[in-house]
Each structure stands twice: as structure tokens, then as C-alpha cells.
Amino acid sequence: MRSLDAYREKRDFDVTPEPRAELVDAGGERLSFVVQKHDASRLHYDFRLELGGVLLSWAVTKGPSTDPSQKRLAVRTEDHPVSYGGFEGTIPKEEYGGGTVMLWDNGWWEPLHDPEEGLKEGKLHFRLHGARMKGGWALVRMRAKKGEKRENWLLIKERDDFAGRTAEALTNKHRTSVTTGRAMRAIAGDKPAATPAKHDKPLPRFHKVQLATLRDAPPEGEGWQHEAKFDGYRCVIALGKGGVRLYSRNGKDWSDRFGALCEPAAALACGSALIDGEVITGAGGGDFSTLQKALKAGDPLTCYLFDILVLDGEDLTGKPLSQRREALEGLMDGQPPRGPLRLSPVIEGDGAAALAAICEAGGEGLVSKRIDAAYRAGRSKSWIKSKCIRRAEFVVAGWSPSDKKGRPFSSLILGSFEAGTLIYRGRVGTGFDGDDMAELMAALKPLARKTPPFDEDLPDETTGARWVTPRLVVEADYAEFTSEGRIRHGVYKGLREDKEARDVSASAEAKNDSGDDEKTIGGVRISSTSRRVYPDAGLTKGEVAEHYAQVAERMLDDAADRPLALLRCPDGIAGDCFFQKHAGKGFPEGVKSIPIEEKDGDRADYMYVSGPEGLLGAAQMGTLEFHIWGARRDRIERPDRMVFDLDPDEGLGFARVKAAAQEVREGLSACGLDSAPMVTGGKGVHVIVPLRRISEWETVKTFAKTFATVLAERHPKRYTATMSKSKRKGRVFIDWLRNERGATAIAPYSLRARPGAAVAVPVTWAELQDLSCPDGFHVGDMAARLKRPCPLRTAKARGIGAEVVEALEDWSRD
């Protein structure tokens, strides 16, 4: 019989609701197992196996994975009583393990060998028969490091019929209790003080919605969740003091039009909320034209909810989708599964397979969303839509008269706005019934005009047309776009009263069909614009160029007139990538060269850029990353920046990196130097120090090396200043080598050539503390980011003179 002394000693059972320590007789036909999702000092999953009258326990930091290639760290903890397998609730914060506990999975387990021998040898092989975890699994003990007290194991899925290929599929799919169906927030709400008064917070204002970018296929790789694309009206639900408001996608108050949804929305128990969803017919199916008829007839409606922007007065838009989804599930806990408000189901696994299944079932398509991305107004690459049916919105520019009795027109003449100019997109002449025609003519007559609204020459098919001011938006299916950018076999689907004409662009659809693969961006010709550079994120070469055009002014504040090392990936990140620092043939004029003397005394031509055309010229040559010297070409031997690259060992959390950045900042401040942080889009953080150009490379390098060495010697268990991998185990490497002559560092606002297409972004020190990862900024975040001052400009430059060196010496002796 095992002991529960350690379990008992850690808890005050007069305070904690956890079960008391009671041993039970070993035996029984089946041995139970349980997994509890535990939001303590950090979120983890407690994996427990019944043996010898107790629950053997491991804390699995990232949760179990059905992918056999994922070896999940499982830290052995104290044995728990078997009765703990039924515990779900909240442990007071001041108690050991304080936080919310969810019963995430349970069932029974089947040892494949003697489990007692397996524990001794450090190898447990077993089958799980749970609601969520099934099939063969293994726990393997890791070799203990010198002085290490905790017992580290690895939880690994065996290769069998229950194995998967997506690392986080299991934990992303199942976010509620296996027994009560509650989300973490609902469980935490059992605390008497935690339940807010119903709608006691101010009514949230309308927020512009996030829109998906059209792609031919769903993104590949991990980090995405997939949802069915609905063919309905976007709906933003606001509730709080003052009642309920339901808005269309462009902010029109459609509370009357969606009136059937007001009562169920008002019943949601919260202080306030702003929820994003899509309204479809009450039957849960049908296309857009069916929905329009249902609205006119007053038929029942259904709103599928897929995102939440505000909850109980808290703005959630900056949090990752995974956390917003959990909050939405908590709010919807207890709602009838077939009611008028429903959660949009999440489809796990391979996006291509999910799209194929939806299309086969006659669905609209798929929307794929990055689970680590914030909610951003406007079109974004973190939401990708893939359609089964080719369907788009168009602006009505006119109509052709009909010679048939009772038919007011034979076809509508369509266009779309591209860069503010109305472009002819062809005609649609089928799909109308009598009511449709009457409704359209009533809307078109007040918009009549004598001249075409197009600036281009029009084809003969428009001869005799009646023209209108382009304000009316319709939706149409089509077979394809021709090489001229016009639709073939158009079928009318309905009016889009929720969309503004100026917002209607068909360029993405036309480009995908016509094969038009060249575009001028920022005055630079970019070829192969539709080539996918980031397969997982769906980002194309053209969109890479558009990113650098967008950030050029801000990026050039730091990157202009510096020698560069470019990371070029001509075939995208899935192909071969290589660094290039010396100028070569073939680069556009904006990429210039400067001769610089190298270590061996020879001179070589290095590349640099001075304006946006240089960044775009490099992008045309397949450049994804820009790495910059610490000095500018006019004073190449006088650095104007110093960089400390904080690079964590594998397995270290981002919290350790943030703490290291703060210590570097404090140490630099003690030496009289200002600094600003930048999340690199990779694993770490750069602490950047602006310098007055008075010192040579050797002085700057010596200062950086001394500073990093002192900090590492002061905290040898946390930091190292040595590049050797053997000395970096469990530590953050304070990389000072970026400050040598010829060394480079990633430029602010540069993309990273890694899955996810993250961007290196300077942040404020306050922002850094709130970030959960160093690669959370993406192309779609840049428009909002550029509206704010660059944090690098807030740090004051100072030279490394005698006073700074003396301050370094004083600090090193503290």
C-alpha cells in the first residue's frame, strides 16, 4: 500500500474543497484513470493512473498529444487519493495548486506489462479506454540531471488506429469537462463572488469585424482550427446595460430584422458581451437566397457564434483565438444545443480533408483560423477561406432591357472596385424569380444615370444598356473568371444590403482564375505574385511585397543605409533558403552596393537599401528576412546600436525570456543606457540599445561581452554568455556576438522565414510583460501597429564613454 502523506502535508482540508487523503484497497476488475485540466500558476494537465490504492500522478505541461512524434514532458507529482478522480472545482489561490480544475477525461487503463516493474525501470506501457484518450500510450522516465529533485517523464502516444498527425488536435478539440460539459470559466464561476450581475456592464460599442482572405485551398500545418463557412449574414451581438443590439457586418443596427434572436441573446448570463457570428435559416441550412426569403417571411433564424470580442467589460481582441474560443464556450455553457444561438463547430485535423467533406455534403466552404492570433478588424491572413462554390459580391452598374413580356430586364451588368476604380466584371442573367426582378427594379430606378460608370472601354454586349450609379451590391455564383477578368455562367443569388459598394473587390477571385501573375507594388514590378511563399499561412509572394510596402517607412528608420544580409527563399519556406550579403547581378536598382573592407583586408561589395524601392526590389528576388549591421554606411566603423539577443534553451517558457529581458534592461539602466525590446518572431527577444556614434566596434563589443558575462556569472543557473550548446541547458543565452563588426541582427518589421509568417516587432516594456509568445505578430497586425509610435524611438541614445564604462564597473561589483 502506498502513502498519501505528501498529499496530506501540502493541503489544509478546512480550506480546500479537494478530497481528504484516504487510501482504498487495491484491486477491482479495472484500474481507473483521469486527466484533469488544471489552471494553476500555469495551465497544465494532470494525468493520473490508479495503482496500489492511489492515483499515480504526473503534470503534463502542454497536455497530451495523439501525435506519436510529440514527446510531452510529464513531471511526476505526489500520489493522490482515488477519490480525487471525481474532483472538479476551484482550489483557493492561497492553497497549494490554487486554481480551477476540470475533469477533462476519465475511463480505465490496461497495463501491458507489470506496472510496478515498469515504475522501477522507468517504462510504463498501457492502453487507455477513455472518452478522449484511447489506444496505446507510454510513460518513459528521463535520466535525472545532477542535483535535480523532480522526476521527469515523457508521455508518448503509440502508433495505432487512435494516433493522429496534429500536435494539439486533442486539447484544441476538447475544451469542456467530460462529465459536466462546462468550460473552465463556468467551473470557476461556482465561486460565490465570481458570478457577475446579469448585464451590469456598459453595452459594448460595435467593432469592425475580421474578414478572411480567399485562397484556393486551406492552409497546411499545425496552429490552425477549421470551421464550416456559412452562407448567411454576418451578425455582431452586443449585450449589456441597455439591452441587446444586433449589428450587420458594416455596423448597421439590424435588431429589428434579426428580432427573433434578441430574446435568446438577452438570456446569456454575463455582465456584457460582444459576439461575432453568422445568421442562417432556422433550419440550419440553405443558401443566401433562402435566408433572404426567410427574413422576409419572418421564419425562424439560427446564429452560429464563432468569436467573442468583449466579455464582462474586458476587451478580448488582443488575446489568442484559443482563449477567446474558451471564453465563448464558457458563456454558451448550458444553452440548448439546437437553440437559435449555437456554437460554430470546430473541425480538427487536415484542412484539405475537411474542405473535401464539406464540399461533398453540399456546403459553402471552410474558414481556417490561426489559434494563436488576436482578433483584427479588416481582412487578415490569420483567417483563410476556401470555397466549394465560386461565389462573390459585385456592384450593379446597369441592366440590359428584355424583349420578353413581363420581364423588366434580361441581365444585370456587374463591376467591382479595384483601388477605387470600377472594373467591368461581366453580366448575370439567370437565377431571378418574379419577386427578385421587382425588388431589383425598384432599387435600380432611383439610381438611373445617362453614362456608364466605368472609365474603360466596354464590350459590345453592353450596347443598349441602362446605366445606374454603382451603389447596389448583389451576390452571384459563377463558373470562372476569364483571362479578361469577367465572370462566366453567372447565377444571381440575392441582394447584399449589408455590404457597401466601395468595399466590393473581386481582384482575388479574378487573379486566381485568370493567371495574372505580375503586379506593380510601390513602383516595383513583382513577378509570380500568386506563388505561395508560406504554405501554412497561405501568404503569397505578392503579399510579402505588400507587407514590405506597408511597413517601409517605419522599417527604414532602422534598416536604411546599413549593410545587409538577406535571407532569400525563391521557392518559399518549403524550398531552399540561403543568406546573401554581397551584391550580385540581377537585383533591381533599389538594392545598392557599397565596398567594405573585410577581415582579410580585401574589399567586397555589400548590399544596402535607402528607400521603399530597395525593400521591394529585394522582395522581388525572393527575400523574406532582412538582417542589418549595427552601423550605417556613412560611418561604418562607428556603431549606432547595440543588441542583446536573448535565446532560450529548448523547453524554456517565454516567461523566462521576459524575465531575462527585464534584468538586462535594469542592468543597462544602471550603466546609464536606455533600451527597448523587440520580439523577434522566432524564439526570443532582442534588447536594443541606441548609441551615439562615438565608439568603435571593439569598444562596443567589449562592453556587450563584459555586461553579458557579468550577468551570467551573477545568475549561473539562469543565464549563460557562452555559445556552447552544452552550457546552454536550461538557460537563456545572452548573445552579445551581434555586436561584432560584420555581424547582423534581424531588422524591425522583417518577416521571419518560418511557418506562421511571424514578424519581428518592437514593443514597449509594458507590452512585453503581457505577451504570451515572441512570434505572435503577423502581417495582418501591421496596419494597427503602424498607427502607434515605434517603441525604439523612445529610448535615448548615449555613447559608450568613460562614464558608462565606469558605471559598468560599479554595476559588476554590486
Active site members:
229
Residue 739: name the closest of 631, 664, 667 by CA: 631
Instruction: Concatenate the DSSP letters of all residues of 280-307 into one string.
Output: EETTS---HHHHHHHHHHT--EEEEEEE
Burial of 642 (0-12, 13-18, 19+ CB in 10 A): buried
Alpha helix positions (H), 747-801: 765-770, 782-786
CA 717/CA 654 separation, integer angstroms? 16
Contact 571, 527 (CB under 8 A): no
Distances (CA, A) of 202 to 242, 313, 318, 330: 8, 7, 20, 20
Integer CA distances (angstroms), 197 to 203, 394, 806, in order: 14, 45, 59
Largest Cα separation within the chain, whole Å, is 98
Distance CA 810, CA 793 (A): 28
Q: Residue 450's CB: how many other CB atoms inside 10 A?
A: 6
DSSP letters, 580-591, are E-B--TT--TTE
Compute the distance between CA of residue 733 and CA of residue 686 in angstroms, rounded to an integer.
Answer: 12
* Distance in angstroms (rounded) separating the CA atoms of residues 533 and 539: 6
Distance of CA 341 to the CA centre of its chain: 25
Question: Distance (Å, rounded) from C-alpha 722 to C-alpha 647?
Answer: 11
Distance CA 148, CA 158 (A): 28
* Residue keyed to cell 454558451: 332
Q: Please list, in sequence order, all residues whose beta carbon lies within 8 angstroms of the beta carbon of residue 109, skipping any fewer than 6 positions away.
A: 31, 32, 33, 49, 50, 126, 127, 128, 129
Which DSSP letter does residue 369 get?
A: E
CA-to-CA separations, 760 to 163, 187, 773, 785, 794, in angstroms, rounded: 35, 38, 12, 12, 18
Please give the Cα distance from 544 to 534 (Å, whole number).
9
Residue type, 249: R
Reading the block at residue 112, the C-alpha cell is 501491458
Radius of gyration over every alpha carbon of the chain, rounded to an integer in angstroms: 30
- Please state, in angstroms and rounded to a whole number, the distance separating the CA atoms of residues 558 and 555: 6
